[in-house]
Structures are given as C-alpha cells and as structure tokens.
C-alpha cells in the first residue's frame, strides 16, 4: 500500500514515465513568506496606522497617569479650602486657578478624572462581563431559554434609563457605587443583544461542529471558541461604553444627584461653577473641556479599534 | 471480528423550508468491524456525510433520525436511547474525540480561525486526558511531524489562515488520530492532498486499523478506495446499494448502475 505507484497511466497523452518524484534534497518545500502575527498584533499594527486614534490613546494614558499621580503628589488637596485666595485666575501656584472656596481647580479636575474614568471603565467592565455571559448563553442555548432571557432584556430596554437612574440614586444615596449600579443596570442589554446575535451566527460555523467532534464541553465551545471569534465587535462596543458611562455620570452630578460635594467629579465641578459663571467663566471651562476632550479621545479610540478589528472596515 | 459500529435500519430526514421533508438516508444498515477499513463511495448528495453525522450525533437541528439504531461498541448512541438531549450530549462529548472521532471534508473551515493550529490539536488531547500544557503542545508537534509536515513546531504556532489547505488537512487528520479512537470516520480525507501524502495518510489509517480500530473512509477516488479499503459500501439516493469486500465490489462489472468498470 505504501508503495503507491505514481506512474499509473491516467490517459493516453501521459505515458507512464512522464513524471518522477524529485530526490529529497531537490524538493522545494513550502515557504511561508508572510510573518506570522497574532490577532492582537495585527489589530495593533492596524490601530497604529490611524494617527487620530493613536494620539487619543496617548492622551487617555496621560490623563489616567495624571489622575493617579497629581492628587498624590500635589501640595493641595481636593477639598482643602483657602478662603484668603478664592476665585483666583490661573497662575503658577494654581495652574487652573481656584474656585469660590479657594480650592485648587487643577487638583480637583484631576481628582474628578479619577472618579469619571473609574466610573467609565468599571461600568464598561461590568457590562462586558454580564453582556457576554447573558448574550452568549442566549445565543448558544437558544430555544425557550433564549426566549425568556431575551424578554427580560426587552423589558429592561423598554423602561427609560433615566427613570431607573434617578430611582436608584434616591434609594441608595449619592455615591460612586449607586452611580455605577444605575449606569450598569440598563446599559448591558445592548451588549447582550449584540453578543447573542454574533454567537448565533458563529455557532453555525463548521469549526463549532468540529469542536464538538473532539469532545469539547459546551462551556469551552462557547467561551473559548465562539466568544473569541466575535471579540472584535465586543471590544468596540465596550470601548464606546466608557464615554457614555462618563457622560451619564457627569450629567447626574451636574443635575445634583450624582457624586456629592466635597468630592469632585467633572459634573459636580461644572455645577459648582454655574454660580460664578458670569464673573469667572474659566471655572466652567476646565471641567467641560476635560469632559469634551476625554469623550472625543475615547470615541476616536473606539473608531480606531473598530477599523483595526474588522478587516471589512479598513480603508 | 467484533463490530465497533452497527448501524441498523437508520433513516435520516431533513425538514427543509424549500423542499419539505427530504430523506437523506433510507433504512441504512452498515457494520464497521475492528481491524477493517470500510470505504463508502457514491455521488455527492447520496447521504454519505449525513449518515456519518448521524453516527456522531451531530446532525443539524433541522435533521432528525426517524428510525433505526446506531450501536457503538454495543451501546445504542442514538438520541432516542437517552432520557433527554442533555444526557445524550453529555455522554457523547465524553466519547467524541476519545473513542470516536471524525475528520470533516473541508479542512479550511474545520479550524477555529482565532486559535493556533498547535493549540487546536492539543485541545483534543487535553479534553480527554490529564496532560499538561507543554506536554500537549509537544505531542501536537510530534503528531504533525509523523504526517510528514516540515517544521512541525513552527506550523503549530501558526493560525489556520496562514497555512495551505493540504497542511490544514493533515492537521485535521492529526486531530482525528490523536487519541487513537476505536472508530475513526474520515470524510474525504484526501481532497487536498497529493499522491505522496495520500499514501502516507493511508499508512497511518492502516496503523490505526492494525491496533484494532475500525476506520470508515468516505471517498470519491475509486483507485484509492480499492487500495485502502477492506470493505466497500456504495451509496445512492440515501441507500446502500452494494456492500462487500473491496475486491468483490470493484470487480463487479456493473455496480448496480452507479459505477461501471471501463477496462
């Protein structure tokens, strides 16, 4: 059997000795020219090409570093009042000036960045976790299980978000925990729907069947193979969830039901600055500028990731 | 020789929207014996693949086994023999990949595009035995090397999209052979292989056979079928129209109107 005769005549035009196997050292074994890049290496390669997204990423990293280190190393604290030095303009001592209680606005903006960014990232992480598990199980199991779980999603979706948020803030009080709860309770449903749709299309692929052929457990097929194959849209969705959570937090704080004074978030600072807006417009500018730039940067990063992770969207 | 697989009066139907109910396999009886290679030949659409999917318990949800039994090592493994779907699934995932394994016909879509080849071969090992990460990777490379893959270690670190079809097919065959299953089903395992590699894979199948396993191979190339198989079944329109040893079937001048020997 192993001595398979390659010289069996196939038809009249090719005589039996037309072909012969090359000796081992003359064989041209396959040669792979392209350098191997993993999924994430390739995504990073594509992401780097998008300059706007790259600059935004650097900006966000700087903001995160400053939010961590400025309140630690600054000689001012976010809530220390200096009534001899209120409403001063920007100077070398106070980069952004001081507010109506003489608190350093630069330190307060950085402290606000801590709260805003941690709310944003924590909300995105919680949403990611719930969304993947909920949506993944719905898409994978299907049937009645899917029907019931998705109706719950529909119900959550059908009640206005602001209604929950205000109710939760009233019940649990104004602190970061309840802001997070309020944001998370409604925003994971979008991700869950998306994951479900993706998993449903991926599970029809042959590799999912192949994974079953080799005896992989359902848990493994779902979370190792299927979810990994729809990671692109999931990452993009999660990145875009960060700015929307920051925005919700800023809004809640601005209308006075979010983070409570003397803690500072960008929303509470903007609210504080309202009373002195006519005489000290700069005080309003700093938190608003911070919100705008951060939102823009995060959205650009989301766009960049969208392009990098989805080959169809590459220009 | 003992039968590893006994298919008895198996009827598989597909409920499609366009064509209504289509019978893919009609009252099929087939035995695969330990230490023998059984070839199934027949036209495309004659029900070969759906028969094998039914054996593995992997029919798509629009298909159902209407009647008949599939006995694997004496145990009925059709869904109807289990109290519910979950029990069937749990039982089957315990033996799939370990005692019975299947190689699909299209190697390009057999692999998860986001997982490296070596990791996917290692997965079948780790699903069924206690085997460390490094150990399983090393064995994956060895298995590829045994199928004459050059630079097997390098190939293991590549993603499925980065290598050619023949290599992927060999990797799929390596997965099938990995746990030395009692029953190996290969659905057109040579479709992307050249003559030399076909001969090599045939050798591996024969080694598995000599260890007392049953091998079922779906084939289109009759010459390979004649060389490789001990028994051959010819399928047409969902029925087995001819069944016998390779010599019997191949030397039959007219194979029930399906094939005719030309010389």
pLDDT band at A284 (very low <50, low <70, confident <90, very high): confident
Q: Is residue A4 part of a domain?
A: no
Q: What is the mean pLDDT of chain A?
A: 80
Interface test with chain B among A213, A224, A231, by most B beta carbons within 10 Å = A213
Note the pLDDT tens digit of each residue in B145-190: 888 888 888 888 888 887 888 888 989 999 888 888 889 999 888 8
Nearest to B175 among A29, A209, A214 (CB): A214
CB contact under 8 A, A214 and B101: yes
Q: Is residue A82 part of a domain?
A: no
pLDDT score of A2 = 43
**Sequence-distant (≥ 6) Cβ neighbours of residue A126 within 8 angstroms:** A180, A184, A188
Q: Is residue A22 part of a domain?
A: no
Give percent of chain A above pLDDT 90.
11
Taking 60 as the threshold, does the pLDDT of residue A198 lie above it? yes
Bridge partners, residue B240, by sequence: B235
| Phi then psi dihedrals of residue A50, to 5 deg | -90, 100
Interface test with chain A among B112, B152, B158, by most A beta carbons within 10 Å = B112
Lateral strand order in the sheet of B231-236: B100-103, B183-187, B214-219, B37-42, B231-236, B239-245
pLDDT score of B217 = 92
CB contact under 8 A, A215 and B94: yes
Q: Is residue A240 part of a domain?
A: yes
| Token representation of residue A226 | 């299927």
Taking 70 as the threshold, does the pLDDT of residue B205 lie above it? yes
Overall average pLDDT of the A189-203 stretch: 90
Overall average pLDDT of the B55-66 stretch: 86
Q: Which residues of A touch B227 (CB under 8 A)?
A: 1, 4
Note the pLDDT tens digit of each residue in B72-115: 888 888 888 888 888 888 888 888 888 889 988 888 888 888 88
Interface test with chain A among B37, B92, B114, B193, by most A beta carbons within 10 Å = B114
Handedness of CA B68, B72, B77, B81 (dihedral sign): positive
**Sequence-distant (≥ 6) Cβ neighbours of residue B144 within 8 angstroms:** B117, B121, B152, B155, B156, B170, B171, B174
Domain CATH for A280: 1.10.3720.10
Q: How far is A142 from chain B (nearest CA, A)?
A: 12
pLDDT band at A4 (very low <50, low <70, confident <90, very high): very low
Bridge pairing between strands B100-103 and B75-76? unpaired
| Token representation of residue B149 | 């893959």
pLDDT band at A151 (very low <50, low <70, confident <90, very high): very high
Instruction: End-to-end CA distance of chain B: give it in Å, rounded.
Output: 34
Q: Is residue A201 part of a domain?
A: yes
Beta strand extents in B17-73 (DSSP E only): 20-33, 37-42, 63-72
pLDDT score of A61 = 92
Q: Is residue A55 part of a domain?
A: yes
CB contact under 8 A, A36 and B157: yes
Taking 80 as the threshold, does the pLDDT of residue A160 lie above it? yes
The C-alpha angle A184, A185, A188, rounded to 5 degrees, equals 65
More confident position, B223 or B217: B217
Taking 60 as the threshold, does the pLDDT of residue A223 lie above it? yes
Lowest-confidence segment of A114-118, A261-265, B23-27 by average pLDDT = A261-265
Give Cα separations from B176 to B1, B100, B218 (angstroms): 23, 9, 14
Q: Is residue A232 part of a domain?
A: yes
pLDDT band at A311 (very low <50, low <70, confident <90, very high): low
Note the pLDDT tens digit of each residue in A295-308: 899 889 888 888 88
Q: How many domains does chain A have?
A: 1
Q: Is residue A196 part of a domain?
A: yes
Q: Which residues of A touch B127 (CB under 8 A)?
A: 214-217, 220
DSSP B86-136: HHHHHHHHHHBTTTEEEE-S-HHHHS-TTS-HHHHHHHHHHHHS---HHHH
Closest CA to A294 of A70, A56, A95: A56
Q: Is B198 at the interface with chain A, CB within 8 A?
A: yes
Cα separation, B40 vs B187, in Å, equals: 9
Taking 90 as the threshold, does the pLDDT of residue A162 lie above it? no
Closest CA to B192 of B100, B110, B102, B96: B110
Looking at chain B, the number of H-run helices and the number of E-run strands are 10, 12
pLDDT score of A15 = 65
Overall average pLDDT of the A80-102 stretch: 71
Q: Residue A215's domain spans which residues?
A: 41-73+106-313
Taking 50 as the threshold, does the pLDDT of residue A1 lie above it? no
**Sequence-distant (≥ 6) Cβ neighbours of residue B106 within 8 angstroms:** A206, B191
pLDDT band at A28 (very low <50, low <70, confident <90, very high): low
pLDDT score of A130 = 92
Overall average pLDDT of the B129-139 stretch: 83
ipTM above 0.90, yes or no: no
């Amino acid at each position: 059997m192993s001595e398979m005769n390659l010289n069996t005549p196939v038809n009249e035009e090719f005589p039996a000795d037309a072909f012969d196997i090359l000796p081992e050292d003359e064989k041209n074994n396959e040669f792979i020219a392209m350098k191997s890049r993993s999924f994430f290496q390739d995504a990073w390669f594509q992401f780097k090409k998008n300059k706007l997204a790259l600059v935004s990423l650097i900006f966000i990293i700087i903001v995160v570093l400053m939010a961590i280190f400025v309140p630690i190393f600054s000689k001012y604290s976010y809530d220390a009042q200096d009534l001899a030095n209120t409403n001063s303009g920007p100077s070398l001592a106070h980069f952004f000036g001081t507010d109506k209680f003489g608190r350093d606005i630069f330190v307060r903006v950085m402290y606000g960045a801590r709260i805003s960014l941690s709310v944003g990232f924590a909300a995105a992480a919680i949403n990611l976790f719930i969304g993947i598990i909920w949506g993944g199980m719905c898409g994978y199991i299907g049937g009645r299980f899917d029907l019931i779980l998705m109706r719950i999603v529909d119900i959550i979706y059908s009640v206005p978000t602001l209604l929950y948020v205000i109710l939760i803030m009233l019940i649990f009080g104004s602190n970061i925990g309840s802001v997070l709860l309020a944001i998370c309770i409604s925003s994971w449903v979008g991700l869950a729907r998306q994951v479900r749709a993706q998993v449903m299309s991926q599970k029809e692929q042959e590799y999912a069947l192949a994974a079953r052929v080799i005896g992989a457990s359902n848990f493994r097929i779902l979370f190792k193979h299927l979810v990994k194959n729809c990671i692109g849209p999931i990452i993009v969705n999660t990145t875009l969830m960060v700015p929307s959570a920051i925005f919700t937090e800023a809004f809640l704080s601005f209308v006075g039901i979010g983070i409570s004074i003397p803690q500072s978030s960008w929303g509470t600072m903007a609210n504080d600055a309202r009373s002195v807006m006519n005489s000290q417009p700069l005080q309003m500018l700093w938190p608003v500028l911070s919100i705008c730039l951060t939102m823009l940067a995060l959205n650009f990063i989301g766009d960049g990731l969208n392009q990098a992770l989805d080959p169809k969207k590459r220009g | 020789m003992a039968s590893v697989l006994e298919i008895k009066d198996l009827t598989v139907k597909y409920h499609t929207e366009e064509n209504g109910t289509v019978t893919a396999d009609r009252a099929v009886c087939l035995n695969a014996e330990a230490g023998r290679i059984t070839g199934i030949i027949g036209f495309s659409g004659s029900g070969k693949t759906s028969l094998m999917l039914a054996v593995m318990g992997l029919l798509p949800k629009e298909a159902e086994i209407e009647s008949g039994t599939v006995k694997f090592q004496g145990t009925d493994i059709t869904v109807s023999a289990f109290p519910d779907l979950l029990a069937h699934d749990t039982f089957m995932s315990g033996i799939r990949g370990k005692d019975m394994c299947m190689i699909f016909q299209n190697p390009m879509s057999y692999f998860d595009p986001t997982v490296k080849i070596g990791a996917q071969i290692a997965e079948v090992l780790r699903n069924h035995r206690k085997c460390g990460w490094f150990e399983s990777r090393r064995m994956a490379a060895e298995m590829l090397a045994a199928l004459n893959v050059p630079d097997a270690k390098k190939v293991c670190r590549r993603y499925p999209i980065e290598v050619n079809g023949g290599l992927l097919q060999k990797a799929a065959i390596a997965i099938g052979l990995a746990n030395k299953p009692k029953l190996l089903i290969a659905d057109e395992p040579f479709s992307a292989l050249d003559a030399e590699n076909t001969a090599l894979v045939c050798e591996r199948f024969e080694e598995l056979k000599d260890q007392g396993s049953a091998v079922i191979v779906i084939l289109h190339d009759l010459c390979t079928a004649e060389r490789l198989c001990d028994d051959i079944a010819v399928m047409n329109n969902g029925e087995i129209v001819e069944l016998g040893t390779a010599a019997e079937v191949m030397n039959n001048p007219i194979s029930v109107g399906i094939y005719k020997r030309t010389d």
